[in-house]
Amino acid sequence: MARPSKKTGKKKIRSSGNEKPPRRPTVQDRPEPCPGGGGRKPPDAKPSPGLYLVATPIGNAADITLRALAVLTNADLVACEDTRVTSRLFAIHGIATPLVPYHEHNAEKARPALIKRLKKGQIVALVCNAGTPLVSDPGYKLVRACAAESLPVTALPGASSVLAALVLSGLPTDRFMFQGFLPAKANARRQALAALAGVRATLVLMESPKRLAASLADMAEAFGDRQASVCRELTKLFEEVRRGPLPILAAHYRKTGAPKGEVTVVVAPAGGEDGIDDDELDHLLDRAMRESSLRDAAAMVAVATGQMRRRVYARALALKQRRRPKPGKQRNKSLSE
């Protein structure tokens, strides 16, 4: 029986002893941050109007955030690179939001219609076939148009083949450059690689499986024996990461043929992983040339440092030239003797 409290006059309820104490709130009980910043909303609340750049899985359909699912479900419209690809993802997660195509071939015509919807206060999501939109995919002009009209734009981060390949490569991650796809034609590709040869950052490149062997051979010619990794089918059942010097990787894929699936190539930075400069390169060459011929020493140092053979050989020639006594001094020495 409940008895009134002497201090408050309120009745105290006795516990039977079998009742569990109230559960303390957990992180999952806390409301999600409001998309775009500012305030908080419960997880099932409809997002604020605006454009949402939503990252989607690069292979494994489970690699999508809860926030992304909420936005895609509650959006008025989802603009996507290929409706067939996105519809398969929507079917897996039970999303019925209407889809419209938005890609490089129709962007100029489709963009004004999307801006019109955003001006009406609608929620528009932009996705690509896989990964984070605008990274090697169309869309930056839509963001720029929204900024010009003072329309809200929010990014929902998530899966990215660029970052996944970078962290799996075993190469330096403190500084990297995303190149995207190389030109399909051999001459244009070699020119592009020549322009990248001096970049002192880890390079991340996309490539077609059919052109992989030829591109790796061109990279070996332009970059030398640098370490690299070929990442294939990331997050999928047959994920594979093959690491090694560029010439070895080129020879492997030339022998085995074009692999299956999406391919991302990561290449060590110019100057080697430790940023070898000319002075350090000269020091290594000086030691190697004491025991080997100039050609052999240059080859060994090139392999050990991942430097281009042409650069190492040129430094070796310059080093040998500096060691050679000048003709005048040699003649004076002979006369004194």
CATH number for 230: 3.30.950.10
pLDDT of residue 57: 97
Q: Which of 58, 38, 60, 56 shows the shortest CA–CA distance to 48?
A: 38
83 and 68 in a common domain: yes
Total tally of structural domains belonging to the chain:
3
User: Do the domain assignments include residue 239?
Assistant: yes
pLDDT of residue 275: 55
| Domain final residue pick, 246, 267, 288 | 267
List, for the chain, all residue ranges whose pLDDT scores fall below the cut of 50.
25-39, 333-336
224 and 210 in a common domain: yes
169 and 154 in a common domain: no
Instruction: Please name every residue paired with 264 in a beta bridge, in sequence order, or none if there are none.
Output: 206, 231
User: Do the domain assignments include residue 206?
Assistant: yes
117 and 80 in a common domain: yes
User: Do the domain assignments include residue 38?
Assistant: no
User: Do the domain assignments include residue 20?
Assistant: no
168 and 143 in a common domain: no
Q: Which residues contact 46 (CB under 8 A, 6 or more apart)?
A: 74, 123
pLDDT of residue 33: 44
pLDDT of residue 301: 81
196 and 153 in a common domain: no
Q: How far apart are CA 77 and CA 72, in angstroms?
A: 8
User: Do the domain assignments include residue 329?
Assistant: no
CATH code assigned at 147:
3.40.1010.10
Contact yes or no for 35/52 (Cβ under 8 A): yes
228 and 247 in a common domain: yes
User: Do the domain assignments include residue 213?
Assistant: yes
Distances (CA, A) of 102 to 73, 82, 114, 158, 280: 19, 8, 10, 20, 51
189 and 105 in a common domain: no
186 and 231 in a common domain: yes
pLDDT of residue 138: 78
- Residues 279-286: contacts with CB under 8 Å, at least 24 apart: 281/305, 281/307, 281/311, 281/312, 281/315, 282/315, 282/319, 285/312, 285/315, 285/316, 285/319, 286/319
Residue type for position 108:
E
168 and 92 in a common domain: no
pLDDT of residue 257: 95
186 and 153 in a common domain: no
Residue type for position 150:
S
| Domain final residue pick, 267, 296, 313 | 267
Q: Which of 313, 309, 199 shows the shortest CA–CA distance to 246?
A: 309
pLDDT of residue 324: 72
Handedness of CA 62, 68, 72, 73 (dihedral sign): positive
Distances (CA, A) of 216 to 95, 195, 239, 249, 256: 41, 16, 20, 7, 13
User: Do the domain assignments include residue 30?
Assistant: no
190 and 151 in a common domain: no
- The position carrying tokens 């030239």 is 321
pLDDT of residue 323: 76
| Domain final residue pick, 159, 193, 212 | 159
pLDDT of residue 281: 79
Task: Please give the model's pTM, rounded to 2 decimal places.
Answer: 0.70
User: Do the domain assignments include residue 153?
Assistant: yes
Domain residues for the domain of 236 are: 162-267
